[in-house]
Amino acid sequence: MKTKELWRFPVPSAGGIAKNVKLIYPDENANALLLFDYYDSSTYDVTGHDEVFNSGILFDMAQAHRHSSEKFTVSLMDAYDRLVEIVDSGWVAELKKINSQIADFWNIKHYVIFLDSYGLYEFIASDYKILETKKGFSDE
Secondary structure, 3-state, 77-119: CCCECEEEEEECCHHHHHHHHHCHHHHHHHCCEEEEEEECCCE
SS3 72: helix
Q: Quote the mean pLDDT of the chain.
A: 92
What pTM does this model have?
0.92
Give me the pLDDT at residue 140, please. Answer: 54
Nearest one of 54, 47, 73, 46 to 11, comparing CA atoms: 54
Give me the pLDDT at residue 45, please. Answer: 65
pLDDT, one tens digit per residue, over 97-133 is 999 999 999 999 999 999 999 999 999 999 999 999 9
The pLDDT > 70 percentage for the chain reads: 94
Enumerate the β-bridge partners of residue 79.
Answer: none
Give me the pLDDT at residue 35, please. Answer: 96
pLDDT, one tens digit per residue, over 73-88 is 989 999 999 999 999 9
Give me the pLDDT at residue 33, please. Answer: 97
